[in-house]
A and B are shown apart, each in its own frame.
Chain A
Amino acid sequence: MGKKTLMKGNEAIAEAAIRAGCRYFFGYPITPQSELPAYLARKFPEVGGTFLQAESEVAASNMVYGAAGAGARVLTSSSSPGISLKAEGISYIAGAELPAVIINIMRGGPGLGTIQPSQADYFQATKGMAHGDFYLTVLAPSSVQEAVDLTMDAFDIADKYRNPVLIVGDGIIGQMMEPVEFKDPIDPDDLPKKEWATDGAKGRERNIINSLALDPHDLEDHNLKLKAKYDRMKEEEVRYEELYTEDADIIIVAYGTTARIATSAIEMARKDGYKVGLIRPITLFPFPSDIINETADRVENFLTVEMSLGQMVEDVKLAVSGKKPVHFYGRTGGVVPSPEEIVEEIEKIGGER
């Protein structure tokens, strides 16, 4: 571990990728993630990395598909409308079972939307990235330090499952500066060789990177194999944070920046006597359903807070399974909720104190 450095989220994620042994980046400019590629364009030459600004997000995601198939640790980053364009390549990467890391510094939508922070890509990230039966592993940091740590973990998770990992941060995570500490860098030459990669079939059978299976039974078998990986992720990768949950009768479920704002609201409400706690999903897929379900046995109400019109709340309701009411508060279109607004919602649920 090194000393603490004050860094912008986007740049810190880029530095973390370098330290994770990533040496390939393919991307296309879009606000509010531009500092990330700019950092890599500046720093990659020092470590022998390849930075390529593609002609489009579609091309960028397909370059990632090629580089991942060739066995590299590879990164791309974008923001909401750009992720929609990258979806094509991401579906192929998932179908061909390749590891890759994708960053989405989310902004308001739909359409061109706005460049302000948002969490309205939850559905896209966790359920509907692109065509076909697949999931990404989805990580949601709520601080610059956590963004750094999750970026380093993302490459390991991607390699472990041969599956694309998506890190979703809202514009605040990308833009704000916080002190961060980095782990020691990994030398990409020390990483295990990927025996399945296309690197020229020298002295071995040829390798094929592919997501085509014309026989439906073959494709069904393939998709069941993918499902087994997702089931294993649900066993091994679920991450969340609990705060003030021991004595709580209201649980706020929130992720990313919204979870930090909710924490401020919880501290304010607790001064007024409301017993409020927080469950903060860190993995959005696999979703921490079990802890939410177990908690539903001992609390009275759930409040989901999001920077959207209500997307994660559907997973919270599934997890609570009707045991207790699930309320929702959200701001959308790039508007960030204030702690006071969340306290008002707590008061509505908890009654006058």
Chain B
Amino acid sequence: MKKVAGYPDSLTDKQFHYCPGCTHGIIHRLVAEVIDELDLKEKTIGVAPVGCSVLAYEYFDVDMHEASHGRAPAVATGIKRVHPDKFVFTYQGDGDLASIGTAEIVHAANRGELISTVFVNNAIYGMTGGQMAPTSLEGQRTTTSPFGRDVKEAGFPIKMSEMLTELDGSAYIARVSVHDPKHIRKAKKAIKKSFEIQLEGKGFSLVEVLSTCPTNWGMKPLDAIEWLKNNMIKTYPLGDLKTPEGVE
């Protein structure tokens, strides 16, 4: 009999601390399932960020290294250079990757560092209490943009994935969402492709995953899903943004 679903080996049995309706849990599961499917559990080193997923090292049942805010790509670079035969991924939020860690992600991508990044974008700082992120949408109300993000004052929603496609070292860049089962399946496919890109030595790979934050958006979980679908995707269009030649 073929097993079609189950709890991934690469997740510990520790209960997630994430808020109800937050999609980090789904994304963790997808990452763990891909690690299992590619048989990477015993050769993976994951790098956890600072932000809501700061405790990711408690959930992924693989070797983990907890980085400082924004520096996960630098930490991952150090690890990968020491263990080029191992699989190294970073798991980062948008405050981490798109604000304080812009230099680290840009240069890791530009070096074609053989690491894979899972970039969870929920357009807000969650852990610290709902502050405006560089990814917050125009007009989005947060604790530090209480009247809505004014792009004249606070700049525009930053499109990290599009920026990273311009670098010669990046091989695969995709943006996905996890707001419904169909998109969750697509997200997993993209994560798998990005991990395979690393294993094949093709270059840096990143999957941006649009994610919800009902708590700090001030919405019920279902409303947050709707808001993601109706607002975020307009600013952050989905799809493979960069794919190496010869890769489906």
Contacts and interface: CB of A to CB of B under 8 A. Distances in A.
Interface of A: 24, 26, 50, 52, 54-56, 58-60, 62-72, 74, 88-89, 92, 96, 198-203, 206-212
B74 A209 contact: no
Given A206-B63, A212-B54, A66 B74 contact: yes
Nearest to B68: A92
B79 A62 contact: no
A62 B74 contact: yes
Interface of B: 41-45, 47, 54-55, 57, 61-68, 71, 74-79, 81-83, 86-87, 103-104, 106-107
B61 to A, nearest CB: 6
A18 B52 CA distance: 40
A96 B68 CA distance: 11
9 contacts: A65-B67, A70-B65, A88-B68, A88-B71, A96-B66, A199-B86, A200-B44, A210-B57, A212-B54
Given A89-B68, A198-B63, A209-B66, 7 more contacts: A54-B74, A58-B74, A59-B71, A68-B78, A96-B66, A198-B45, A206-B62
B42 A70 contact: no
A1 to B, nearest CB: 31
A47 B99 CA distance: 38
A345 B54 CA distance: 56
Most buried by A among B45, B68, B78, B82: B78
B206 to A, nearest CB: 17
Contacts of B77: 26, 52, 63, 66
Nearest to A199: B83
B78 A24 contact: yes
A67 B82 contact: yes
B81 A203 contact: no
A202 B57 contact: no
Contacts of A200: 42-45, 62-63, 83, 86-87
A252 to B, nearest CB: 41
B116 to A, nearest CB: 15
A52 B80 CA distance: 12
Contact of B66 (A54, A55, A67, A210): A210
The dominant DSSP class at the B interface is helix
A176 to B, nearest CB: 32
B78 A198 contact: no
Contacts of A203: 42
A60 B71 CA distance: 10
A38 B188 CA distance: 43
Contacts of A201: 41-42, 44, 62-63
Nearest to B107: A55
B78 A70 contact: yes
Contacts of A65: 65, 67-68, 71, 74-75, 78
Given A58-B71, A66-B76, A209 B54 contact: no
Contacts of B75: 62-63, 65-66, 69
Given A54-B107, A212-B54, A67 B63 contact: no
A69 B86 CA distance: 14
A211 B104 contact: no
Contacts of A63: 74-75, 77-78, 81
Nearest to B44: A200
A322 to B, nearest CB: 42
Contacts of A56: 103
Contacts of B65: 65-66, 69-70, 198, 208-210
A208 B54 CA distance: 13
A54 to B, nearest CB: 7
A199 B87 CA distance: 10
A75 to B, nearest CB: 12
A206 B10 CA distance: 11
A59 B107 contact: yes
A55 B61 contact: no
Given A200-B86, A206-B62, A69 B78 contact: yes
A68 to B, nearest CB: 7
A58 B78 CA distance: 13
A62 B68 CA distance: 8
A200 B35 CA distance: 12
Contacts of B86: 199-200
Nearest to A212: B66
A202 B43 contact: yes
Given A70-B83, A200-B83, A62 B78 contact: yes
A66 B64 contact: no
- Name the 3 nearest CB pairs between A and B, nearest first: A66-B78, A67-B78, A66-B75
A24 B81 contact: yes
Given A52-B81, A200-B86, A62 B63 contact: no
Contacts of A24: 78, 81-82
A88 B87 CA distance: 26
Contact of A26 (B43, B76, B78, B104): B78
Contacts of B78: 24, 26, 62-70, 74
A209 B54 CA distance: 13
Contacts of A72: 82
Nearest to A206: B63
A190 B76 CA distance: 25
Contacts of A50: 81-82
